[in-house]
Amino acid sequence: MTKRSFHIILALLCGACWLWYGLTNLQIAQKAELIEKIQSAGDPEGEAANLESERLGLEGQQTFKGILLTFLTAGVVGILFVVHVLPAIVQRFTHSIYDSGEMVDHDVMRDARSLLAQGEYEAAIEEYSNAIAAEPGNRMPWMEIAKIQMDCLDDPQAAIETLGQAIEAFAWPMDDGVYFRFRLAELQEQVNGDHAAAAALMQQVEEFYPNTRHAANAKHRLQELGQGAEAAVLAAQEREFLERMNLVVKSEGGVSGGSA
C-alpha cells in the first residue's frame, strides 16, 4: 500500500467516524423528543426515567468520542497538510516573490522527492533518472536511487548495479568518484561477500587519486579487506574439513554396522 492510498483510507475512516458521531447525536435528539412526548402524556408506564438515563449515557459517550475524534481529525489534517498542501504553498510562494516574472529555476529533483515522500518508489526512481539526464554531473540522483533500491525496495543487487553505472557514467570530480567507489566496495563486501571486487575498487582509488587522503584511506581499507578475505578462506577450509570428518564418521559407522 502506498502512502497516498494510506492517507485516503485514513481520511475516509475519519469521515466515517464523524458520520457515526452525527448519527448518535440524532439518536439523542430522538430520545429527548420521545421523553418530552411521554411526559406530556403523563408518563403512565414510568418510561421517561429510563429513557432519560439512556439519553444521559449517550451524551457522556458523545463527549468522550468527540475528544478522540478531534485529536484524530487534527492528526489526519496535519499529515495531509504537511505531505500535500505545504509543498504546493511553498512552491506558489517561491514563484510569487519574483515580481519581474522571471522564471524560477526548476528543481529537477523536487518531483522525485515528492513521490518518495508518498511511497511511490518506482516513480521516484524514474524522476531521479530524469534528473540525471538533466544534470549529468550531479551525484545526488544516483545516490538517492541506490538508497531507494537498498532501503525501500530491499533490492541491494539493484543498488550495486546503480552505483557501478554511476562510476562509468561521468568523469566525476575526486570526492564524488571516491564516494561512489567506497560505497560500492562496502556493498560488494556486505551483500555479496566479494572481497576481491571491493579490493579492486580500493585499488582504483589508490591509482586514480595518488598522494591524497583518499588514497591513504583506500590503502588502509585494502589491509582490512585482506584480513577479511583470509578469515573467509580459513572459515571455508574449516567447514570443508568438518564436512569431510562427518563423512568419514558416517562411513565408519556404516561399515561397523555391516560387520555386526
DSSP letter at 45 equals: T
When comparing pLDDT for 5 and 153, which is higher? Answer: 153
pLDDT digits (tens, 9 = 90+) for 207-227: 999 999 999 999 999 998 887
Q: Where are the domains of the chain?
A: 147-233
Does the domain formed by 147-233 have CATH 1.20.1300? no
- Whether 121 has a pLDDT exceeding 70, the answer reads yes
Position 34: which residue type? L
Report how far residue 85's alpha carbon sits from residue 81's, in angstroms, rounded to the nearest whole number: 5
Residues in the chain: 260
Q: Please report the pLDDT score of residue 103 as a whole number.
A: 40
- Whole-prediction pTM: 0.52
Report how far residue 129's alpha carbon sits from residue 108's, in angstroms, rounded to the nearest whole number: 10
pLDDT digits (tens, 9 = 90+) for 64-120: 777 877 887 888 787 777 776 777 676 666 545 444 444 434 566 888 999 999 999
Nearest to 125 by CA among 165, 70, 185: 165
Q: How many CA atoms lie within 13 A of 154 on its CB side?
A: 0
pLDDT digits (tens, 9 = 90+) for 169-206: 999 999 999 999 999 999 999 999 998 999 999 999 99
Q: Could you identify the residue written with the cell 485514513?
A: 10
CA 96 from chain center: how many Å? 33
Query: In this structure, what is the dihedral angle of CA atoms 82, 86, 90, 93, given to the nearest 10 degrees?
Result: -160
Nearest to 148 by CA among 165, 163, 134: 163
> What is the full DSSP assignment across 136-188?
TT-SHHHHHHHHIIIIIS--HHHHHHHHHHHHHHS---HHHHHHHHHHHHHHH
Mean pLDDT, residues 54-61 taken together: 77
Position 108: which residue type? V
Report how far residue 55's alpha carbon sits from residue 42's, in angstroms, rounded to the nearest whole number: 19
When comparing pLDDT for 70 and 164, which is higher? Answer: 164
Q: Who contacts 121 (Cβ-Cβ below 8 Å, separation ≥6)?
A: 115, 148, 152, 153
Contact in structure between 83 and 117 (CB atoms under 8 Å): yes
pLDDT digits (tens, 9 = 90+) for 151-161: 999 999 999 99
Burial class (CB in 10 A: 0-12, 13-18, 19+), 229: middle
Contact in structure between 166 and 142 (CB atoms under 8 Å): yes
Q: Who contacts 167 (Cβ-Cβ below 8 Å, separation ≥6)?
A: 177, 180, 181, 184
pLDDT band (50, 70, 90) for residue 255:
low
